[in-house]
Amino acid sequence: MKISIIGVGLIGGSIALKLKQKKTADFIYGIDNNTENLDEALTLNIINEKADLRTGIQNSDLVIIAIPVDSARKILPEVLDLISDQTVMDVGSTKSGIVNAVKNHPKRSRFVAFHPMWGTENHGPKSAVAESFSGKAGVICNREESANDALELVENVVKSLDMHLIYMNADDHDIHTAYISHISHITSYALANTVLEKEKEEDTIFQLASSGFSSTVRLAKSHPEMWVPIFKQNKENVLDVLNEHISQLRKFKSALEKDNFEYLEELITNANKIRGILDK
Amino acid sequence: MKISIIGVGLIGGSIALKLKQKKTADFIYGIDNNTENLDEALTLNIINEKADLRTGIQNSDLVIIAIPVDSARKILPEVLDLISDQTVMDVGSTKSGIVNAVKNHPKRSRFVAFHPMWGTENHGPKSAVAESFSGKAGVICNREESANDALELVENVVKSLDMHLIYMNADDHDIHTAYISHISHITSYALANTVLEKEKEEDTIFQLASSGFSSTVRLAKSHPEMWVPIFKQNKENVLDVLNEHISQLRKFKSALEKDNFEYLEELITNANKIRGILDK
């Protein structure tokens, strides 16, 4: 199958590598405003050819939109205007916005709203890896709004990525990802800013940083180009969980201030439950 | 050299494995109130022999205390009472408390206060790995209070662990570790509690959990037996940085509430600086 990928960065690039490896894709057009990324993707054999939007779409069976969620929401109606019976999918971390943007588009049924639960703090085609998605969840939203053949094509792509498929309503998706993914990023950003504020000697951070610190602060390296639009589109859900998070931190503060170490132990023992859930 | 390790858990066990591999230790006595751990450490060839405190100390050149910081502070004076000219070191994550506990002990100079900047969310001898400490910082505190030969012996142990040595005042150590290590644990515990509070469907957490979430919440699996005493001993510094962290999170909240996405981008761009510091 021939595929156009709009946005040949970390996610688009990783999908391209995996689908070529699995021979799900036999030709990939790369479409990207960032010509440097595009050239790099070509050099790295991530794509077969650079293309403009119209040429790519006309020659492809599947169009994958892999750009930040605000740009994705903007470009999707244009892409749907250009297709005949091709399938279009996105990979964005928020789903209500994009689904609503094309609710009444005559070609709505050619679009499948998708979100692979994988990413790293890196960006660009250089960071792309084929073995990225294996074992993670691939979420398809509002499947009843997609045509059967389009849905089936995307389901096969998700299987080629070695992901396990989950179906979800777009609004539910945005609530759950606020809890499980978006808040982790805010926590990590705020932790980085805390340490940068308190620890004036950068060299001490570098010298003392343990694997624990590096792991907790890893997501703080993620770029604002991707994350500001996500927080913007999922504002209400993110604020809701952020308020809860601040109140959870206040419990630790209160336990410490009052020398209530039994309560502190209780809070930690409760947090330990995450082990049983994650390490099933 | 013959070594006694008091506490054959994750840290004590990992030190034992590495020092045996490097032939720095030719015989290791294991001392532990937890007989299950002790038997396991023997089966796993982490220690050569189980011993009681007196026997272990009498037959060793070096005694390593690797138990939670409250117990370590309690046992250190007893250990110093029992030694003649052996060297004693600890591995605790807080240093002011233990250093003050033996300030006036006649054998103070035989003790070297040490903290290896490594750990995982796991515990027990089964979790011990020889290649744990490589490349991380090994901090020796208040070196001027230790005898030269004791200091030299511990410095050689730290080199055998492939760690890079840092010297620090105990009070400074506790400030820096509050910033760089202890707050990460509170963040992670509070994040786990947030998600457990908001996401009532445990199966959804398990299904959707991405590598980003797992990484940020990893430290939340760490046991209260180790961490309550650390927070207790380092209360003032931890509270100071926790207050800063809550105020950093409030900035994200305020940016979102006011739709101030420029400010949000600014906060994230600032957090991104951690990349340059950690990936030197």
As a three-state string, the secondary structure of chain A is: CEEEEECCCHHHHHHHHHHHHCCCCCEEEEECCCHHHHHHHHHCCCCCEECCHHHHHHCCCEEEECCCHHHHHHHHHHHHHHCCCCEEEECCCCCHHHHHHCCCCCCHHHEEEEEECCCCCCCCHHHCCHHHCCCCEEEEECHHHCCHHHHHHHHHHHHHCCCEEEEECHHHHHHHHHHHHHHHHHHHHHHHHHHHHHCCCHHHHHHHCCHHHHHHHHHHHCCHHHHHHHHHHCHHHHHHHHHHHHHHHHHHHHHHHCCCHHHHHHHHHHHHHHHHHHCC
Is B272 in contact with A186 (Cβ distance < 8 A)? no
The Cα B23–Cα B18 span in angstroms is: 8
- Cα–chain center distance at A211: 24
Q: Which two tokens stand for residue A166?
A: 């989950």
Average pLDDT, integer, range A257-270: 98
User: CA geometry: angle at A176 spanning A121 and A244, to 5°?
Assistant: 90
Q: Does B165 touch chain A (CB under 8 A)?
A: no
Are B11 and B84 a contacting pair, CB within 8 Å?
no
For the cut 70, the answer to whether the pLDDT of residue A261 exceeds it is yes
Residue B124 Ramachandran class (φ > 0 left, ψ -120 to 50 alpha, else beta): left
Q: How many beta-carbon contacts under 8 Å exist across A and B? A: 312
- CA–CA dist B153, A261 (Å, integer): 37
A129 touches chain B (CB under 8 A): no
Cβ under 8 Å to B: A residues 216-275: 216-224, 227-228, 231-232, 235, 238-246, 248-253, 256-257, 259, 261, 264-265, 267-275
Report CA Rg, chain A: 21
Helix/strand/coil for B51:
coil
Concatenated DSSP letters of A174-210: HHHHIIIIIHHHHHHHHHHHHHHHH---HHHHHHH--
Q: Name the amino acid, one letter, at B239.
A: L
Q: Write phi, then psi, for A259 (nearest 5 degrees).
A: 50, 35
Domains and CATH numbers, chain A: 2-168 (3.40.50.720), 173-278 (1.10.3660.10)
Q: Which one-letter DSSP state was computed for residue B29?
A: E
| B191 interface with A at CB cutoff 8 Å | yes
Predicted pLDDT of residue A213: 86
pLDDT at A208 over 90: no
| Residues of B in Cβ contact (< 8 Å) with A177 | 208
Q: What is the pLDDT along chain B (280 residues), one digit of tens a residue?
A: 999 999 999 999 999 999 999 999 999 999 999 999 999 999 999 999 999 999 999 999 999 999 999 999 999 999 999 999 999 999 999 999 999 999 999 999 999 999 999 888 889 999 999 888 999 999 999 999 999 999 999 999 999 999 999 999 999 999 999 999 999 999 999 999 999 998 887 788 878 887 788 889 999 999 999 999 999 999 999 999 999 999 999 999 999 999 999 999 999 999 999 988 887 6
Per-residue confidence band for A280, with pLDDT thresholds at 50, 70 and 90: low
Q: Tell whether B129 is within 8 A of chain A (Cβ).
A: no
Residue A211's pLDDT band, with cuts at 50, 70 and 90, is confident
Give the confidence band of A103 by pLDDT, cuts at 50, 70, 90: very high
The sign of the dihedral angle between the CA atoms of B274, B275, B279, B280 is negative
CA distance, residue A169 to nearest chain B CA (Å):
13
Contact B250 A246 (CB under 8 A): yes
User: Is A54 in CB contact (< 8 Å) with chain B?
Assistant: no
- The partner residues of A114 in beta bridges, in order of sequence, read A140
Cross-chain Cβ contact B274/A242 below 8 Å: no
ipTM score here? 0.93
Question: In this complex, do B210 and A278 lie within 8 Å of one another by their Cβ atoms?
Answer: no
Could you tell me which chain B residue has the CA closest to the CA of A228?
Answer: B265
Residue B226: per-residue pLDDT: 94
